[in-house]
Amino acid sequence: MTVLQVLKFPNPVLKRKSALVTQFDAALRELAEAMLETMYVEGGIGLAAVQVGQLKRMIVVDARDGVGEDEAERRNPYFYVNPLILESEGETVSEEGCLSVVEFTADITRAEKVLLEYEDLAGETHQEALEGIKAICVQHEIDHTKGKLFIDHLPLIKRQMVKKRLAKLARSA
Ligand code: NI
């Protein structure tokens, strides 16, 4: 089991754009598995490769929407490579947090439903219609691949305040 270090705000790498994945090889699959393990250890429902310092357009998501008694049984992981939102519909507000943004959550507005196009770990292209928490999570993770954090959705004044506070917190940690 490989657990990777999750970069935290204000690490500048988190602001960088990830590159299209073109090599669907063993290294990509190993990274995907390590990202998933890291996400479980950290208790998250999604993780983008940039959060572990890899500027690749790959995200892992697990809304724990499987069937079972406990958390481990409900695990239902998905790997999305080069994810792209083709269509979005509706609006929904929910409280978001992020493994890269410690001790802060905020209500963020997202599309309610999205049509996602992505490649799997073998490079095959698929489409999937998403709604609920998984749709929200995928939008949050795709933002990461564009160098954007959920706090970047806050109104300007609040965003500046929050970023200042989080940067101070990170310095004193
Ligand atoms: Ni995040």
Tokens in use for 35?
A: 């990202």
User: Which position has the token pair 């998905």?
Assistant: 78
Distance (angstroms) between ligand 1 centre and the Cα of 138 equals 10
Cα–Cα distances (Å) from 25 to 2, 29, 63, 120, in that order, read: 18, 7, 26, 11
Spatial contact of 116 and 137, defined as CB atoms under 8 Å apart: no
Is residue 96 part of the annotated active site? The answer reads: no
Q: Helices (DSSP H) in 14-151: which residue ranges?
A: 26-42, 71-74, 132-145
The predicted model scores a pTM of 0.96
Cis peptide before 10 (omega within 30 of 0): yes
Q: Given this model, what pLDDT does residue 1 score?
A: 76
Distance (angstroms) between ligand 1 centre and the Cα of 160 equals 18
Q: Given this model, what pLDDT does residue 137 score?
A: 98
**Domains (ranges, CATH) in the chain?**
12-172 (3.90.45.10)
Q: Cα–chain-centroid distance for residue 5?
A: 15
Tokens in use for 20?
A: 């299209």
Spatial contact of 36 and 45, defined as CB atoms under 8 Å apart: no
Which three-class secondary structure state does DSSP give residue 69? coil
Count of CA atoms in the C-beta half-sphere (13 A) of 28 = 20
- Segment (H or E) for 163: helix 156-172
Q: Helices (DSSP H) in 63-111: which residue ranges?
A: 71-74
List the Cα angle 140/16/128 in 5-degree steps: 35
Name the active-site residue from 33, 112, 128, 141.
141
Distance (angstroms) between ligand 1 centre and the Cα of 25 equals 25
Q: How far apart are CA 141 and CA 51, in angstroms?
A: 10
Distance (angstroms) between ligand 1 centre and the Cα of 45 equals 9
Distance (angstroms) between ligand 1 centre and the Cα of 124 equals 25
Q: Within the chain, which residues score under 70 in pLDDT?
A: none
Distance (angstroms) between ligand 1 centre and the Cα of 48 equals 7
Q: Given this model, what pLDDT does residue 99 score?
A: 98
Which three-class secondary structure state does DSSP give residue 166? helix
Q: Given this model, what pLDDT does residue 173 score?
A: 78
Distance (angstroms) between ligand 1 centre and the Cα of 140 equals 6
Q: How far apart are CA 108 and CA 80, in angstroms?
A: 22
